[in-house]
Structure 1
Amino acid sequence: MDKLVRSIKFPMFFDPERLKKDVYKIIDKNWTNHYNTNDYSGKWTSIALMSQNGKSDSIFALPSGDEKLVPTEILESCTYFQEILDSFLFEKTAVRLLKLDVGAEIKPHTDNCLGYEDGCFRLHIPIITNSKVEFILDGNRLIMNEGECWYIDANFIHSVANRGAQDRIHLVLDGIRNEWTDHLFFKEADQNDFVRPATEVSENEKQLMIAELKRMNPPNLDAILKDLE
């Protein structure tokens, strides 16, 4: 995986004040504790802006079945978030606000099949952050500022620690790769840098990967499965 692109800071910028205005509208709503309780210490919570059942406490990053996401009651009052989501022309599989409280840490971990080379991807838009947030991806620290838009390949080990005096809140979008996103990504890096090098994997690992890919059902599923053969 040495040549794969780990991260991209896209040449787009969102108004931090408008982002914060939407967050402050719902800051006192019910934030749900993140479900991966073994992966963090302190307080890490989320609100879904879109989910399969339209409820803001449905914060799972991996939706079940083929049912599409719909706006939650939270998104209805957040007009700038709606504008941003409408500007991204790809199918969303998760749309959440993630809040990492002061002193909280997300332990080093990986997220399976969540790199652009898999046909799926994750974007981060920082809304509230501080200079003492330490986001480490594959051994390198990423400085993600308010209003920026970042891609991270979550297949690589990553961790986050909020050592500052202010809670960190990101808008996090998971999506399915398509022609529109190819144009966006390939302007920033060569398309060959999003191709997973051939590696020897056990048959059990291969079957787990195939099962996960079939469940996520990206548009280029057949091509990915052929590469795994």
Structure 2
Amino acid sequence: MPFARIACNVAIDQLRHEVEQLLLLNLQQPWVDHVNRHDYVGKWDVLPLRCQQQFVDAHPILQGFSIAAGDKWENLPVLEHCPHIKSIFAQLHCPVKAARLMRLAAGAEIKPHRDQGLGMEFGEARLHVPIHTSAAVSFLVDNQRIPMNAGELWYFNADQTHEVYNRGDEDRINLVIDCVVNDWLREKIQRGAVSE
């Protein structure tokens, strides 16, 4: 299944307020450009929120993009400003690994690519909560458009080819959460499967 909407209580106005506060704190916790530069055109950057424990005091690139093995994950200090984001984590009755805000600038695009092994059938799940988005943003998985709206929680199979186009005038910002698939999450994903 390429994608599914998962029931979750998201107060979008509160979430947007937290993101605006983080944007104001940019100097203390900088956003970092996505490291896979050949996979996108334009500006695509990340603000790490949760990372492997061994990288809590490391450079944000390691916090946001580490490929090292590890099973101990920890919230970064920036989450002290984000009680609603933490409440979203608390609604997930599965182990939460990495979390970050991902911003795709107006006019930018993420080229078709795969994140191998990142899908429910491999025991890993990537979840998205659109925070700032518009009808001009197209998020495609296996050539199917995910009908994401602000404040919704979505799973998508990142092991399948996916791409994103921001043809709008404003940046798109999503909360992105990587989780371990357990029975609870598997059932939520299967229940929320969407077919177009």
Superposition TM-score, scaled by structure 2 size: 0.88
In the TM superposition, structure 1's runs of 4+ consecutive aligned residues that sit over 6 Å from their partners are none
Q: Write the distance in 2 (CA, Å) between the matches of 1:186 and 1:129.
A: 25
Structure 1 residue aligned with 2:135? 131
Task: Identify which of 21, 30, 34 aligns with 2:17.
Answer: 21
Q: Write the distance in 2 (CA, Å) between the matches of 1:146 and 1:182.
A: 23
Q: Write the distance in 1 (CA, Å) between the matches of 2:174 and 2:74.
A: 20
Q: What is the Cα-based RMSD across aligned positions, in Å?
A: 1.6
Identity over aligned residues, as a percent? Answer: 35
Matches within 5 A, 1:1-229: 5-28=1-24, 29=26, 30-52=30-52, 53-55=55-57, 57=60, 58-60=63-65, 63-188=67-192
Deviations 1:161-211 (A, max 9, x none): 11101100000011111122133224335xxxxxxxxxxxxxxxxxxxxxx
- Work out whether residues 115 and 153 of structure 1, in 8 Å CA contact, stay in contact via their aligned partners in 2: yes
Q: How far did residue 100 of structure 1 move?
A: 0.3
Q: Write the distance in 2 (CA, Å) between the matches of 1:117 and 1:98.
A: 24
Q: How far did residue 63 of structure 1 move?
A: 4.5
The residue matched to 2:111 in structure 1 has which SS?
strand
Matched AA of 2:49: L
Aligned pairs, number: 184
Q: How far did residue 67 of structure 1 move?
A: 4.3
Q: Write the distance in 2 (CA, Å) between the matches of 1:87 and 1:152.
A: 18
Structure 2 residue aligned with 1:209? none
Superposition TM-score, scaled by structure 1 size: 0.76
Structure 2 residue aligned with 1:199? none
Gaps of 5+ in 2: none
- Work out whether residues 120 and 186 of structure 2, in 8 Å CA contact, stay in contact via their aligned partners in 1: no
Q: How far did residue 136 of structure 1 move?
A: 1.4
Matched AA of 1:45: D
Considering Cα pairs closer than 8 Å and 6+ residues apart, tell me whether 1 or 2 has the greater RCO.
2
Larger radius of gyration: 1
